[in-house]
Chains A and B, each alone.
Chain A
Amino acid sequence: MSTETEVDLTHKVVRDERVKEQNRLQRLLIRPEMGSLVGAIAIFIFFAIVAPPFRSPEALATVLYASSTIGIMACAVALLMIGGEFDLSAGVAVTTSSIAASLISYNLHLNLWAGAGLALVLSLAIGFFNGYLVMKTKIPSFLITLSSFLMLTGINLAVTKLISGQVATPSVSDMQGFDSAQKVFSSSFSVGGVSIRITVLWWLLFTAVATYVLFKTKIGNWIFAVGGDQDSARAVGVPVTAVKIGLFMFVGFCAWFVGMHLLFSFNTVQSGQGVDNAFLYIIAAVIGGCLLTGGYGTAIGAAIGAFIFGMTNQGIVYAGWNPDWFKFFLGAMLLFAVIANNAFRNYAAKR
């Protein structure tokens, strides 16, 4: 197919006088992550005022760390949501991955890297399973991944108990490969005397790569298309099934990554953890401007959403409030964020 086609259709130009041009400011305002950015600044200022310890660089490092473990997953979940699908199993998939790596290496006496490799295969397979079922059965991903969420939750508990006889996996800290793996997944480095966890770097890197892929590559174009209008995308030759399964597998990959972080920072994995984390990832993506209906959003927005989560999570502690209020704040913020995002879009679109 040639893109060189010379078509000469010299014709009078008609303009629709009802379509008004937008200026730069408006264009900035309707960026999906704009609402969350304003929200993040407001929350930062708020906690900086009410919680003096929040202002220290150490506190910022802690906030960034809390944001990063949510943020890495939120990045993948945001991409999936832009592609028009959900993954409710993303939270327990993290636990599944770290349990798998831990139990496989421990019981087969493998190098931890080999266990991690097998866990990666498993995580990708879970992603593939979710994606394949969604595409094959055409049942909404909400239901498919709700099922796999429940199944994985059960497997995590049952298999861990079956193999190790308790609810947590045995410690892997003295096994081969632990030190090098810990360097990659869970080390710290210091900037100006402040110790920062390496997941923060990974989080920023993942977000940057996802942003590049979304806006500067063919695949990114396809992700927006399959989320915006699947049938249209298929009609112009976008491989819809492959793109969506790929997105589910990317969620699997990120779940593996965060799972490895948990394993190598705590040595042991609690089999019941991570159950309601999938909602946090979705919340971060939605606060960051992803539409629930797909086809709209950014990875940067999801990162800001995760940062808001991290600030609230730690800010409440620094402010000396009862942490029981955390969920309430999170809910209130989500409500505020979606209303604000909506208002921003409508306001900017109308001007």
Chain B
Amino acid sequence: MTATVDRPVHDAPSGGKVPLVEMKNVGKTYGNIVALHDISLRVHAGEVTGILGDNGAGKSTLIKIISGLHQQTDGELLVDGEPTKFNSPKEALAKGIATVYQNLAVVPLMPVWRNFFLGQELRKTRFPKSLDANAMRATTISELSKMGIDLPDVDVAIGSLSGGQRQCVAIARAVFFGARVLILDEPTAALGVKQSGVVLKYITAAKDAGFGVVFITHNPHHAHMVGNHFVLLNRGRQKLDCTYDEITLDHLTQEMAGGDELEALSHELKR
């Protein structure tokens, strides 16, 4: 059984509005290495775009382009329908595109609230302008509880939280500081089933709240649970671009695993 789904020439139906972020035939080469070739995708408000791919498929390069760490060498990146080129992550952030990397950019030994506001501390208005610790604590608690994490004590070191909670703190931070588009780099990669559930629930909540979410993963089960449409990368090329209605989990899994290759493998390993 072969199952190659042809990529639609354009737009998989998704809301009709202008996408928050759109890529048109984007390519990226590092010297003579073609990391990405002819990628097109859209991220709409209130939707989750799942980007799937095995190791070396080009997922990291893709998010680096969207988040402003690298620039594409071909094609266009559109934000709110306007062609854009980001020179730094800061510029992407200014447009509301926030990336939550795998290492989460948290400092393990520091309390949760200090991590939450690190780099954007709140200060009192009166002269010595000392940190407004109480306001920061309260905000952290309320922002976290909005996303379903109940931490009565935000003074504990963030390193003592579970992996899923840490992930959620990092996401909550991005949301609080004005993100419209959240790029989540393998948020469930190192997590167990239950912890992944916490993160997936939060992704859904963010989607319902109108954020555009780019969910990078190599787990088709997780992608299928929350995704509205899916882009599958393989060796730098786009293999699949379809909406939730167009694909079943089994199909997605099979595509992800390489279709024919998987069957050949299971044949080979047959006992």
Contact = CB atoms under 8 A, between A and B. Distances in A.
B146 A21 contact: no
Contact of A7 (B114, B119, B149, B209): B209
Nearest to A230: B107
Contacts of B149: 13-14
A233 B115 CA distance: 9
Contacts of B110: 221, 224-225, 228, 295
A7 B206 CA distance: 9
Interface in A27-46: 27
Interface in B129-170: 129-131, 133, 143, 145-150, 152-153, 155-156, 160-162, 165
A16 B167 CA distance: 14
A18 B156 CA distance: 14
Contacts of A13: 145, 148-150
Size class of the contact patch on chain A: 35 or more
Given A228-B107, A228-B110, A218 B101 contact: no
A237 B120 CA distance: 8
Nearest to B106: A232
A174 B120 CA distance: 53
A232 B145 contact: no
Interface residues of B, number: 51
Contacts of B123: 218
Nearest to B142: A7
A296 interface: yes
B147 A9 contact: yes
B178 A2 contact: yes
A191 interface: no
Nearest to A228: B107
B150 A221 contact: no
A138 interface: no
B151 to A, nearest CB: 8
23 contacts: A1-B93, A2-B178, A3-B176, A3-B177, A5-B177, A8-B146, A13-B148, A13-B150, A19-B161, A22-B153, A221-B110, A221-B114, A224-B107, A224-B109, A225-B110, A225-B118, A229-B107, A229-B108, A231-B105, A236-B105, A237-B119, A291-B109, A295-B109
Interface of A: 1-3, 5, 7-16, 18-19, 21-22, 27, 212, 215-218, 220-222, 224-225, 228-229, 231-233, 235-238, 291, 295-296, 349
